Amino acid sequence: MRELHDLVVGLAVEAADLARTRREAGVDIAASKTSIVDIVTEADREVERLVVDRILAARPDDGVLGEEGTSVAGTSGLTWVIDPIDGTVNYLYDIPAYAVSIALVEGDPDPATWRGLSGAVVNGATGERFEALRGHGARLDGREIRVADAVDPAVALVGTGFGYDAARRSRQGAVLQGLIGEVRDVRRGGSAALDLCFVAAGRLNAYYETGLNPWDMAAGALVVEEAGGAVRGWRGEPAGTGFLLAAAPALADDLAAILEPLRANEV
């Protein structure tokens, strides 16, 4: 696994360098996806092609799941889950909070059932490298990191995010309205992968979001877990596309108790 982990990290660093180079040259929007604000850039596609080509050359029996449409059914039982540029709107606006996220998971490419083995999240703008190998901890630029100790929700800094669909954002805003008076404050960074890593590094006390995709959470969730945090869904279910909450275990319990009654606002 150490050799595979080195491959994961190396690919993420190479892909982040390419993303940054393309950002410096200017951004070309290739298409919209689920809505007019859900964009994909030419760089998203180029970065994913680079990563997939490298994986298939080195690991032809593995599966691949990429945000920009790559879906390869492997035979090894391992799947690479790729977000070529997480935080594409930040990337478009040249906000320095976008990242390449690459994870290697065991099992089907479903966050509710897979087992994360290795993950790397590299901020293309700053070069910060978050990584985790199951059973070996989490690191930022080679330095071991840990989640912040659990605190009372009233003094917790909480990150969140919103979907591209306007109706969904309105519902998520209603949940936030119910939460914001219960915590220190809320941050919205624009990259789920980086927000998860910020929890792992103690820059946020917690992060939650509904409607994430598998590639948004695959690497970041493992980084949180290996940094001593809990990553969970509703009522003890595994984190998945329905809901994800990441924090120190005791804080995760407290925030779940606050958020659960607010779920009616998202129906």
Beta bridge partners of 99: 86, 123
DSSP string, 129-192: EEEEETTS-EEETTEE--PPPP--GGG-EEEE---SSHHHHHHHHHHHHHHGGGSSEEE--S-H
Mean pLDDT for back-to-back runs of 10 residues, the chain (267 residues): 96 97 84 62 90 96 91 93 95 96 94 95 98 98 98 98 90 94 98 98 97 96 98 92 96 96 73
> Can you give the pLDDT at residue 37?
60
Q: Tokens in use for 149?
A: 């100790």
**224 in helix, strand or coil?**
helix
> Can you give the pLDDT at residue 33?
60
Q: Tokens in use for 194?
A: 């980086």
Beta bridge partners of 104: 80, 118
The C-alpha atoms of residue 162 and residue 164 are separated, in whole angstroms, by 7
**Under 8 Å between Cβ of 123 and 95:** no
Question: Rounded to two decimals, what is the model's pTM?
Answer: 0.95
Element (H, E) at 118: strand 115-123
The C-alpha atoms of residue 83 and residue 266 are separated, in whole angstroms, by 26
